[in-house]
Amino acid sequence: MAGQTLYDKLWAQHKVLEEPDGRTLLYIDRHLLHEVTSPQAFSGLRNAGRKVWRTDANIATADHNVPTTDRRAGIADPTSRLQVETLDQNCADFGIEEFGMMDKRQGIVHVIAPEQGLTLPGMTVVCGDSHTATHGALGALAFGIGTTEVEHVLATQCLWARKSKSMRIWVDGELPPGVGAKDLVLAIIGRIGTAGGTGYAIEFAGPAVRNLSVEGRMTLCNMAIEAGARSGMVAVDDRTVEYLRDRPFAPSSALWERAVSVWKELHSDDDAVFDREVHLSGDEIAPQVTWGTSPEMVTAIEGSVPDPGNAPDAVRRQAWENALVYMDLAPGVPITEIAVDRVFIGSCTNARIEDLREAARIVRGRRKADSVRSVLVVPGSGLVKAQAEEEGLDEIFRLAGFEWREPGCSMCLAMNADRLESGERCAATSNRNFEGRQGAGGRTHLVSPAMAAAAAIAGHFVDVRTWK
């Protein structure tokens, strides 16, 4: 019998029961909640007179709607305020622990759970949010769910699911200096397409992945969803274990030793067979920039805007044409000639401490270009913010003319006051470049933190590999 994949192991360990048709009731170890996708779930419970099955498996925070400026004044927008207050009230009523807006542990749900040790290897982790795939970086099976499923998890601690197919994305070699996890994942999406992972659970593996820090692996898994996969994961290794040591909610002393010995088994067996294998060479990855309105519309920094005439098929030709109109770009324009109006450094993809360090490294001693209207730096959590301030990164950003903000989703999806004006072009470290994502009519180019910082300084995209 062939060995098991990491996904096989995680799946098998969480099976409560399996129906003859393959539908499986999976046990959920950790459920993360935020204000946008939970209110209807709680009202569903109330209406049916149901309780929360296991309160200590849940943790909540407000992130999507919260202001990133001074919070003592509260939330100005009444609908945002109502949603955040509704979460506070629901957590109080149902006995769920919440990191509220004024708590320094508050932040983007996918940043704070690993940071607190609330995500642990071997767990199933779900959240009413598609970027839940992030948590797979710690050797967990993590995926996004809808609100009806949020209600289901609250009421039963389980979910019905069918096993996906498995895909391994193997990255050989080593990423060149100046090239990071974000470039890697964009290059992967460019290769397999935004539907390439549909129906699959992706495991990222190979020397270049092993070589990434745990935070880099989170960036990688975070965007599994942009490749169409509900979950992405990386096997547990020493880095995973070291990352978790002494985290507030991670086990300690004798339990720690026991847990670590169990976690060490969380990798695919050597003879495991995947339904699909994709190979990339890490050495060949260049900094990536998206030029269109789908993450698969991406190219290397030395590339140029493609000609829809060269699209592989008619459907894509149409999509490229639409994208170029929306993005106001002409075929053949070199990426380095695209000027930006704003820069956003943040989101669950790239707002952890290493991302901010990487951006600060580029910025140190420089100022943003005058043509750039604003640069927002939004840390992923209150603790990331505190750490950055301790290291003086906030000063580097401020001296460069960047704005240093309070943690939250911010201009990743522009649900709060941070957004693009129609027609503005933004270099963003977030994960989606859909039409209107960062504000109606706004144009988004997805890049790494280093590339975003460099674009802010230069006023247009530049190759950070040659940045001095």
Question: What residue 430 binds from other proteins, ligand SF4, none (CB within 5 to 8 A, per partner kind)?
Answer: ligand SF4
Q: How far is the CB of 328 from ligand SF4 (least distance, A)?
A: 24
By CB under 6 A, tell whether 413 contacts ligand SF4. yes
> Residue written as tokens 């290769």?
191
Examine residue 19 and tell whether it contacts other proteins (CB under 8 A): yes
Give the β-pairing of 24-27 and 158-161: antiparallel
Question: Which of residues 267 and 437 has its CB atom nearest to ligand SF4 in the complex?
Answer: 437
Using CA atoms, how far apart are residues 240 and 238, in angstroms rounded to an integer? Answer: 5
Rounded to a whole number, what is the distance in angstroms from the first to the last CA of the chain? 54
Residue 318 binds to other proteins (criterion: CB under 8 A):
yes
Of 137 and 335, nearer to ligand SF4 (C-beta) is: 137
Q: What are phi and psi of 459, to 5 degrees?
A: 90, -5
Q: Is 64 in the site for ligand SF4 (CB under 6 A)?
A: yes
Binding residues for other proteins restricted to 75-134, rule: CB under 8 A? 77, 79-80, 82-83, 86, 118, 120, 122-123, 128-130, 132
Judge whether 289 and 446 are in contact, CB under 8 Å: yes
Instruction: Point out which span in 65-73, 141-149, 318-326, 409-417 binds ligand SF4 (CB under 6 A).
Output: 409-417
* Nearer of residues 225 and 236 to ligand SF4, judged by Cβ: 225
The SS3 call for residue 144 is strand
Q: Are strands 30-33 and 124-127 parallel, antiparallel or unpaired?
A: parallel
When asked if residue 165 is in the footprint of other proteins (CB under 8 A), the reply is no
Q: Does 430 bind ligand SF4 (CB under 6 A)?
A: yes
Q: Find, among 182, 415, 410, 194, the residue nearest to 292 by Cα.
A: 194
- Give me the helices (H) in 135-199, please: 147-156, 181-192
In the complex, the smallest distance separating the C-beta of residue 175 from ligand SF4, rounded to whole angstroms, is 23
Kindly tell me which residue out of 133, 145, 300, 412 binds ligand SF4, with binding defined by CB under 6 A: 412
Does 435 bind other proteins (CB under 8 A)? Our answer is: yes
Please tell me the number of Cα atoms within 13 Å of 74 on its side-chain side.
10
Beta strands in 151-222 (DSSP E): 158-161, 165-172, 200-205
User: For binding to ligand SF4 (CB under 6 A), which residues are involved?
Assistant: 63-64, 108, 110, 129, 131, 347-348, 409, 412-413, 430-431
